[in-house]
Amino acid sequence: MNEYLPGLAGVPATQSNISDIDGENGILFYRGYPIEELAEHSSFEETSRLLLDGRLPTAAELADFTSQLKENRRIKFHTRGMMKNLPASGHPMEMLQTVVASLGMFYPGSDCLTGSDACEDLDYIHNTTVKIMARMPCIVAMWEHIRNGYDPIEPRMDLSYAENFLYMLTGKEPDPLLARIMDVCLILHAEHTINASTFAVLVNASTLANPYTVIAAAIGALSGPLHGGANQRVLGMLEEIGTPDKVEEYVDSKLANKEVIWGMGHREYKTKDPRATILQGLMDKFMAARGGDLNPMFEVAKRVEAVCEDRLAKKGVYANVDFYSGLLYSEMGIPADQFTTIFAIARSAGWLAHWREQLSDNRIFRPTQVYTGEPRRSYVPISKR
């Protein structure tokens, strides 16, 4: 095949049994389970184990996995010291990529990833998976305190994954509803087939690179505004619009100038992103719990979605997962520049599932290209140019 398809659109890059999308009907499956059922009944810990192992765990298996995640939350003081020397003005995603990449120096062992036996050390693969997943939320929460000049808050072993993250981030034991909302948000962002950051995982994993640098590469890909960084842009867009009565003029202006309307459209979905539907429901539930105290930006968001649906539905452009997630995080008191780090925390489960899958039947990625440069020519000495 020599046809060039920009962005590899529609080109299968791998085989996977981790997740699937029915874009025409707006359905996302993790290992065959619809995302709506997992969001309703599961936890992030259970969903992660499902993604990693291919089946729902037993009660004993889930308890063991949850315990391992809790036991690996503590961060070495060398890492904390390094974080204190990073620029406080740096974006949290830049911090996260730097720190995760450095963890391989503190937790060696990737020398087993060599030659034909690359995937046979299952203990190393499992232990590394647990270490990365356990530490990423702690690193993100620690940074929120460090960059503001304070010592980070120590993790608690009696809290769930979502609860501990919110506790370390705010210093307060989270309200059960907020903790459940965060848990569902993590489930929704945990996996989404071969997107840009997951493809970065596959390419780097195929070289048998250290898994910490593999995840760091994925974090870099996720940080872009056309991928995970979009939810932060959505909140900025809503604040720029200001009030619902200004939405139509804003949307029409953007469309006329062929500019991006953040949070709208997805390459895989021809209808509304099912994750956006769940997030909108969480937003309604959150507001109801607050006695109807509605953030005016939520009304702006609903109006933007309605206007965009009127203008763009015939093209298959609807709200995606980024459209409501940033607004929901903002209502939970989370700074806007931390939105994408939460995405990364959740997606670590999917990334690591794909890392493991790649190692199980590895072949280094080496795509070809369509050359469009000059034909063969002879070197011209500098004196004759």
Query: Is 175 among the residues known to form the active site?
Result: no
Residue position matching structure tokens 């489960």? 349
d(CA 350, CA 132): 12
CATH topology of domain 15-225+335-360: Citrate Synthase; domain 1 (1.10.580)
Q: What is the DSSP string of 84-149?
A: HTS-TTS-HHHHHHHHHHHHHHHS--GGGS-GGGTT--HHHHHHHHHHHHHHHHHHHHHHHHHTTT
Terminal CA-CA length for the chain: 39
Specify the pTM: 0.91
Q: Kindly name the residue from 183, 189, 192, 266 that is annotated as catalytic.
A: 266
Domain ranges of the chain: 15-225+335-360, 230-331
Tokens of 344: 């990364």
Known catalytic residue at 64: no
Per-residue tokens: 270: 């021809």
Q: Is the pLDDT confidence value at 162 over 70?
A: yes
Q: How far apart are CA 96 and CA 102, in angstroms?
A: 10
Overall average pLDDT of the 110-128 stretch: 69
- The tens digit of pLDDT for each residue in 340-368 reads 999 999 999 999 999 999 998 899 999 88
Single out the catalytic residue among 322, 337, 354, 361.
Answer: 322
Say how many C-beta atoms besides its own lie within 10 A of residue 285's C-beta: 14
Is 1.10.10.60 the CATH number for 230-331?
no
The SS3 assignment for 34 reads strand
pLDDT in tens, 205-240: 999 999 999 999 999 999 988 888 778 888 889 999
Average pLDDT score over residue span 240-264: 93
By the 8 A CB rule, do 325 and 185 touch? yes
